[in-house]
Amino acid sequence: MTSSSRPAPPVSTRPPLLRVLVGLVLLEALLLVGWAAYLVWGLATAEATETAGAVGLVVIALGFAAGLGLGARALWHRRRAARAPLLVWQILQLAVGLPQIPSGTTWAGILLAVPAVVAVALLFHRDVVDAVVE
């Protein structure tokens, strides 16, 4: 049996913090899908003033959501390589969220920054690092 067809370890052997991290990453992916759906709704109701830009944002959001979903899946299957792209995403999310806090959209900045900080902390937590083996 090759390593790619090996079944995932039982849920009971995964540390709770790894499960929390996977859930957080999946939530981020779901929120990106929701934002893309909102943009599609704006296109359908003619609220979008720049159609090409909105379509581009939909494609980008869905691409990032797919990447986050794959990253969560890789973490669930304990793939060490999942940590690097997820860390990059969290840093990008922080880079967007932190400037929002003093600019008048504090709620948006907090909604972006807090999950990113939590995810980065979990990515480097000893239990998570020890749980991902390949």
Give the C-alpha separation, 122 to 115, whole Å: 10
CA quadruple 51, 55, 61, 63: dihedral, nearest 10: -160
pLDDT at 4: 58
Find, among 69, 125, 124, the residue nearest to 91 by Cα: 124
Give the C-alpha separation, 118 to 13, whole Å: 22
For 133, which DSSP code? -
Q: Please check whether residue 120 is in contact with residue 71, taking contact to mean a CB–CB distance below 8 angstroms.
A: no
pLDDT at 134: 59
Successive 10-residue mean pLDDT values, the chain, 134 residues: 58 85 96 92 81 90 96 94 95 93 89 95 94 79
Q: pTM for this structure?
A: 0.84
pLDDT at 29: 96
pLDDT at 115: 95
* H helices present in the chain, as ranges: 16-44, 51-76, 83-100, 106-123, 126-131
Find, among 30, 23, 32, the residue nearest to 122 by Cα: 23
Q: Please check whether residue 42 is in contact with residue 54, taking contact to mean a CB–CB distance below 8 angstroms.
A: yes
pLDDT at 5: 63
